Amino acid sequence: MKKYLTIIVSCAIVISMASVSFAADTIKVGLLAGFTGPIESLTPPMAAAVDLAFSEISDSGVFLGGKKIKAVRGDSTCIDAAAATAAAERLVTVEKVVAIIGPSCSGTSAAVATKVSAPNGITTISSSATSAALSEVKDNGYFFRTAPSDARQGQILANITMNKGIKKVAITYTNTDYGKGLSESFGTEYKKLGGKILMISSHEDGKADYSAEVGTLSASGASDLVIFGFIDQGGKGIIQASLDSGAFDSFIFTDGMIGPSLTKHFGKALNGSYGTMPGGESDATKKWKGIAKSSGIAIDGPFRGSSYDTAALIALAIQAGNSADKASIQKHIMGVANAPGEKIYAGELKKALEILAKGGEIDYVGAEDIEFNEIGEVFGAYQEMEIIKGEFVSVKVH
Amino acid sequence: MSRYNIRVIVSFSMMLFLLLMVGFGQSWSLCLSIVNLCLISAIMAMGVNIQWGYAGLFNVGIMGFTALGGLSAVLISKESIKEAVSAGGMKMLLAILIFSLAIALGLYIHRKFKSKGLVIVVLLAGYFITRYFYLDASQTIEAINPAFAGYLGGLELPVLLSWIAGGFLAAGAAWLIGKIALGLRTDYLAIATLGISEIIIAIIKNEDWLSRGVKNVTGIPRPVPYEIDLQQADWFKELVAKFYAGSLDLLPVSEQATALRDYLSEASIVFVKLCYSGLFLSVLLLIIILAGLALNSPWGRMVRAIRDNEVAASAMGKNVKQRHLQIFVIGSAIAGVSGAMLATYNGQFTPGSYIPLRYTFLIWVMVIVGGSGNNLGSVVGGFLIWFLWIEAEPVGFWLADLSTSFLEKDNYLRQHLLNNAQYIRLIFMGAVLLVVMRFSPDGILPETNKKL
């Protein structure tokens, strides 16, 4: 039994010491993201964007009169609601974070918002949960998101498609709340505008071959294929199978499919295909690209800009209330994000902190043109991206 | 005291000690949320243990049965969508009736006339008529407010009923599956159940009229109060103020309001979690008692005899097939109950989150580590594995921090390890399994009455 006791005691010591402490003048913010699980390849750049914003704030020297701010990480696993809430609880009750950035995925977001954020009164801002159903979650006013709801992106894409004179499409979506939600909002709007959907079919991610799916889709007689999927998953497989069989050569995308890895792989074969991704005025995007590039964050994927914005918003809300108290943060989030006030772009956080310290007002625009509605969701501006000469080019902002 | 009894006492008190360490060292709300999931995991593990430990049935389809339990939580407790029910409810009912009728008729013809051709004709006709009504009904239902509803909703009954209903739903599915697949020998049964559980998930993911499919159902009603309501209830406020009166008095008056607010939110969370713990614990105890009685009854001896030597038991006149079916149904029903409890506790049903790693293989690790064939072993396994599943993350972070503390702050290796500390969870699971298998091949608490 002595052996067991030694093991258990050492375990216990490890656990009780496992909360790493920071200096007292460092304010901690939880970063709850899907570090393991299905979106594990998306999260490291998102986390890097958060760290970038926080180091900008800390280095400014004017944050709460010279304090520092730091992200403490927790794993939301993206799929396991129980593990995500436990991680959130650890961040709130053990690490004593004042706000949470995340969780990354819509399912875990709903659980954390109702079980941790609302009861603890902790402001929680997700930078990547896009499910439309999250608008209805009982969060007591503590859950925000800087990634726009899928419902809106579908509508905008339907309008663009109609304006291009495309009257008949086939749709394939990844069988997740992301793909399904988009296909429904796109379908409703497109039909309302007089378009015809010849075929809707779902695909499962992670398969080796999608020629069967493409065969069914092309049998519908459509010549344009709308893909609501993921660039590293089934979406790419669908395009590959379509090009191989010659079934489709014109594609319509959303944010999950837009990125240089797509154009790098298929090159000019996709010329003329287009899609939408969240992103604001070209000014805001330009500035964000500048600072992201100089700090080594690849901007070719979704949710990096919104992660930066989320981190910046929390710090600015702290500065606006001049207190890292959790209730004060919630009270000031809307104020710093919305007009009136001086417009603040990515990389100008020091200026914002100085204005706030003097009691002035700011209107945070950030990387992705943040503006909250009354339930704490962004309206979302979208860029229309078109593939010209084998590269994604931003054509217009909607 | 026998060696085994000491082992039981030591392993349970160690588990208790670990949880208390979390409570005192980290926080009570974290401790209780671990405990609650430990209780649910223990019940899931008991379900597997009854199948594998008692009867040697190799079921790797636990995921499907827990998902059916979760489905029942939605169907029993969610508010019904009036528009959808009035628009498509009758049609859907008709489709289901016709479907069942076709099956019943097919069975009747098969028994009475033994005509395969006629059975096929009846089933095909039934299929096409069902499909006609079903397609219409499902499209009508799914078209109603798809972003927030788009399904029939539930029966608006108390959610606790769904724990029982989840058991029955899973039991029904298990009976059907068992009828088809239980003739298979161990490894073939494993492959069949793995496939069938994926089929169940695929159905739930795609039948939007039933439970919104991959669009998830959130806001499943709770059997316990909401924290926010408690924080506003006068009796609770007074209770908390009285409880913390001592420490509040020590603070300056200006800080008392903030401190009380924090105490209040913490107390409400702990209170709600304790309510859940009470419910889960009573289910677990009930199942332990019933399973223990069954294992030590003549029926239990018969089942173990079948497990250890099927041919001999069969020669003794025992109905092997029937016993296997019974065990399969009972074990799956328990998995269904735990699935309904999990959905209730999470307050949501998200079909996309059912993956075999989490809902089948993790549960198997619990049974193997705990000791297959021993109910208390499954409980210890469930507690230990879930505890490590959650605590691996802070420990991993601490280990990464400690082992690289001599390096520069922005050293590549240090940064890399700190940024990937979360992955230690999976390494941990493998390591624990290996260590236990090496030093105690029968699990932490081995089966006691192996010899008949």
- For residue range B38-62, list pLDDT tens digits in order: 999 999 999 999 999 988 899 999 9
Among A13, A15, A178, the strongest candidate for a mutation testing the B interface, having the largest count of B CBs within 10 A, is A15
pLDDT for residue A132: 80
Domain A26-147+303-364 classified CATH 3.40.1710.10? no
User: Residue A187 pLDDT > 60, yes or no?
Assistant: yes
Q: Structure tokens of B110?
A: 């098969």
A18 and B CB contact within 8 Å: yes
User: Residue A17 pLDDT > 60, yes or no?
Assistant: no
Say if residues A112 and A132 touch (Cβ distance below 8 Å): no
Burial of A89 (0-12, 13-18, 19+ CB in 10 A): buried
A87 and B CB contact within 8 Å: yes
Higher pLDDT, A298 or B237: B237
Segments in B404-423 forming alpha helices (H): 412-419
Say if residues B319 and B192 touch (Cβ distance below 8 Å): no
DSSP one-letter string for B32-60: HHHHHHHHHHHHHHHHHHIIIIIH-----
Q: Structure tokens of A381?
A: 């501006």
| C-alpha distance across the termini of chain A, in Å | 69
CATH fourth-level superfamily of A151-279+381-397: Response regulator (3.40.50.2300)
Cβ neighbours, 10 Å, residue A46 = 29
- For residue range B260-304, list pLDDT tens digits in order: 888 898 899 999 999 999 999 999 999 999 999 998 899 999 998
**Sequence-ordered strand ranges (E) for A109-256:** 123-126, 143-145, 168-174, 196-203, 224-228, 250-253
B26: nearest CB among A94, A138, A325: A94
Tell me the ipTM for this assembly.
0.90
B352: nearest CB among A36, A74, A176: A176
Locus of tokens 């660039």: A231
pLDDT for residue A19: 46
A87: nearest CB among B29, B215, B393: B393
In chain B, the percentage of residues whose pLDDT exceeds 70 is: 99
Inter-chain contact B34–A86, Cβ cutoff 8 Å? Answer: yes
pLDDT for residue B452: 46
User: Residues with Cβ < 8 Å from A122, sequence gap 6 or more?
Assistant: A92, A97, A98, A99, A100, A116, A142, A326
Nearest of A136, A150, A184 to residue B148 by alpha carbon:
A136
The residue in chain A having the minimum alpha-carbon distance to the alpha carbon of residue B228 is A119
Report CA-CA distances (Å) from B398 to A10, A21, A68, B302, B391.
13, 11, 22, 50, 11
User: Residue B29 pLDDT > 80, yes or no?
Assistant: yes
Inter-chain contact A93–B228, Cβ cutoff 8 Å? Answer: no
pTM: 0.90
Higher pLDDT, A282 or A323: A323
pLDDT category at A197 given cuts 50, 70, 90 is: very high
Q: What architecture (CATH level 2) is domain B3-80+153-439?
A: Orthogonal Bundle (1.10)
Distance, in angstroms, between B401 CA and closest chain A CA? 8
pLDDT for residue B260: 87
pLDDT for residue B194: 93
pLDDT for residue A254: 87
pLDDT category at A278 given cuts 50, 70, 90 is: confident
- Give the separation between CA B345 and CA B336, rounded to whole angstroms: 14
Inter-chain contact B147–A185, Cβ cutoff 8 Å? Answer: yes
Task: Outline which parts of chain A fall under CATH 3.40.50.2300.
Answer: 26-147+303-364, 151-279+381-397
Segments in A61-193 forming alpha helices (H): 81-89, 106-112, 118-120, 150-163, 177-192
**Degrees, nearest 5: CA angle B8-B11-B14:** 145
User: Residue A262 pLDDT > 80, yes or no?
Assistant: yes
Residue A343: strand pairing partners = A363
- Give the separation between CA B89 and CA A111, rounded to whole angstroms: 30
Which residues on chain A are in Cβ contact (under 8 Å) with B213?
Answer: 180
- Give the separation between CA A19 and CA A94, rounded to whole angstroms: 7
- For residue range B392-428, list pLDDT tens digits in order: 999 998 888 888 888 887 788 888 888 888 888 888 8
Inter-chain contact A4–B10, Cβ cutoff 8 Å? Answer: yes
- For residue range A45-61, list pLDDT tens digits in order: 899 999 999 999 999 99
Cβ neighbours, 10 Å, residue A371 = 18
By mean pLDDT, which of A234-248, B209-223, B408-422 is the weakest?
B408-422
pLDDT for residue A14: 59
User: Residue B75 pLDDT > 60, yes or no?
Assistant: yes
Q: Domain-by-domain residue ranges, chain B?
A: 3-80+153-439, 81-152
- Give the separation between CA B124 and CA A12, rounded to whole angstroms: 63
- Give the separation between CA B142 and CA B147, rounded to whole angstroms: 10
In chain A, the percentage of residues whose pLDDT exceeds 70 is: 92
User: Residue A7 pLDDT > 70, yes or no?
Assistant: no
User: Residue A43 pLDDT > 60, yes or no?
Assistant: yes
Say if residues A190 and A200 touch (Cβ distance below 8 Å): no
By mean pLDDT, which of A125-134, A239-248, B381-390 is the weakest?
A125-134
Which residues on chain A are in Cβ contact (under 8 Å) with B14?
Answer: 4, 8
pLDDT category at A16 given cuts 50, 70, 90 is: low
Say if residues A255 and A178 touch (Cβ distance below 8 Å): no
pLDDT category at A211 given cuts 50, 70, 90 is: very high
pLDDT for residue B420: 85
Does residue A28 sit in helix, strand or coil? strand
pLDDT for residue A20: 46
Say if residues B138 and B208 touch (Cβ distance below 8 Å): yes
- Residue B291 has φ and ψ, to the nearest 5°, of -65, -35
- For residue range A361-395, list pLDDT tens digits in order: 999 988 888 889 888 888 777 888 888 888 888 88
B352: nearest CB among A73, A86, A177: A177
Say if residues B420 and A43 touch (Cβ distance below 8 Å): no
What rounded mean pLDDT belongs to chain B? 91
The residue in chain B having the minimum alpha-carbon distance to the alpha carbon of residue A20 is B398
Q: Mean per-residue pLDDT for A334-349?
A: 90
Say how many CA atoms lie within 13 Å of A374 toward its Cβ: 0
The residue in chain B having the minimum alpha-carbon distance to the alpha carbon of residue A90 is B30
- Give the separation between CA B193 and CA B174, rounded to whole angstroms: 10
Which residues on chain A are in Cβ contact (under 8 Å) with B29?
Answer: 89, 93
pLDDT for residue B405: 85
Among A22, A97, A177, A326, the strongest candidate for a mutation testing the B interface, having the largest count of B CBs within 10 A, is A177
Which residues on chain B are in Cβ contact (under 8 Å) with A18?
Answer: 391, 394-395, 397-398
Which residues on chain B are in Cβ contact (under 8 Å) with A94?
Answer: 26-27, 30, 394
Q: Structure tokens of B304?
A: 């173990």
- Give the separation between CA B155 and CA A335, rounded to whole angstroms: 42
- For residue range A64-117, list pLDDT tens digits in order: 989 999 999 999 988 889 999 999 999 999 999 999 998 988 889 999 999 999
Which residues on chain A are in Cβ contact (under 8 Å) with B149?
Answer: none
A328 and B CB contact within 8 Å: no
DSSP one-letter string for B218-277: E-PPPSS--HHHHHH-HHHHHHHHHHTHHHHHTS-HHHHHHHHHHHHHHHHHHHHHHHHH
pLDDT category at A11 given cuts 50, 70, 90 is: low
- Give the separation between CA A350 and CA A338, rounded to whole angstroms: 18
pLDDT for residue B165: 97
pLDDT for residue A123: 94
